[in-house]
Amino acid sequence: MRVLVTGKHGQLSKQLQLDASAAITLQALDRAQCDIRNATDVLTAVTDFSPDVVINAAAYTAVDQAESDAEQAYAVNALGVENIARACLSNDTRLLHVSTDFVFNGQQSQPYQPSDVIDPLGVYGASKAAGEQRVQALMPAAIILRTAWVYSCHGNNFMKTMLRLMAERDELSVVVDQIGTPTSTPTLAQTIFALIDNTQAQGIYHCTDAGQGSWYDFAVAIYEQAQALGLLPANKSVTIRPIKTTEYPAPAQRPSYSVLDHSRLQADTGLVMRDWRVVLAEELNKLLVETAQTLKDSECISNK
């Protein structure tokens, strides 16, 4: 299988590159190689590589900045996605497009189904919703995969930010009244490969790890597990204070509840999502190994 991935340097794209099996010939492109805002760039990239599947992992993800930069958010998340869909149509290529929980308004109290009505609260969510709608209009058989709270060992994300701040500070304040599910890139990559392996898969799916929690819960779990592993000094005490969203004003409004139901995904792929705390422990372990290897490499260079 030949697979073309956009957003080469993003954390999901990096994971896809790491986890692709030997049966997959994967080419990842960055913005310099293929600016998805440019229809000609996209068509040329898809035509030249002739993939079986395009995975669109490129996105404008600066949620707060999008409020004052709507033009660029829509250029990437709506027009860019349309350009990819049109190029896939021209080349008879399948498309898997990655979307977000931000297409929902967060007013439910039970997990969102793929079929639930979307109602984004801000520019970022609205631009991603527009991208979904353009894909559905052009390619009804395309796969749209919504996810949430993505993190990994590589790239910039909540887990790595928390670890840095915990090493620097004695107290942190983290929002407690936004509920969702942390999702690791290995979970996402496994899901994406399972979906593209299923030639019958189409339409909207939801993918997160299992369970739910607040950003505060996520931060506390990171702290406790990182201390246990030695990623933070054993004597480093950090107070994590729960605060309400209103105490942490931001330009963009977030959904207060965005837990996603992934029963359709499990039915079509056979995958069973694992609790997010279990997956977090695995990611922190990987980070520990990577940190140890980096220190070892540095020592080798110094000794030379």
**Are 57 and 12 contacting, i.e. CB atoms less than 8 angstroms apart?**
yes
Question: What is the pLDDT at residue 158?
Answer: 96
Which 3 state secondary structure label does DSSP give 154? coil
Superfamily of domain 2-153+183-209+256-277: NAD(P)-binding Rossmann-like Domain (3.40.50.720)
pLDDT tens sequence across 166-198: 999 999 999 999 999 999 999 999 999 999 999
User: Which entry of 60, 124, 205, 257 is annotated as an active-site residue?
Assistant: 124
Q: What does pTM read for this prediction?
A: 0.93
Query: With the CA atoms of 163, 279, 125 and 128 taken in that order, what torsion angle do they form, in degrees rounded to the nearest 10?
Result: 120
Domain ranges of the chain: 2-153+183-209+256-277
Q: Tell me whether residue 248 is one of the annotated catalytic residues.
A: no
Q: How far apart are CA 169 and CA 152, in angstroms?
A: 22
As beta bridge partners, residue 141 has: none
pLDDT bracket for residue 233 (50, 70, 90): confident
pLDDT tens sequence across 35-91: 999 999 999 999 999 999 999 999 999 999 999 999 999 999 999 999 999 999 999
Question: What is the pLDDT at residue 292?
Answer: 64
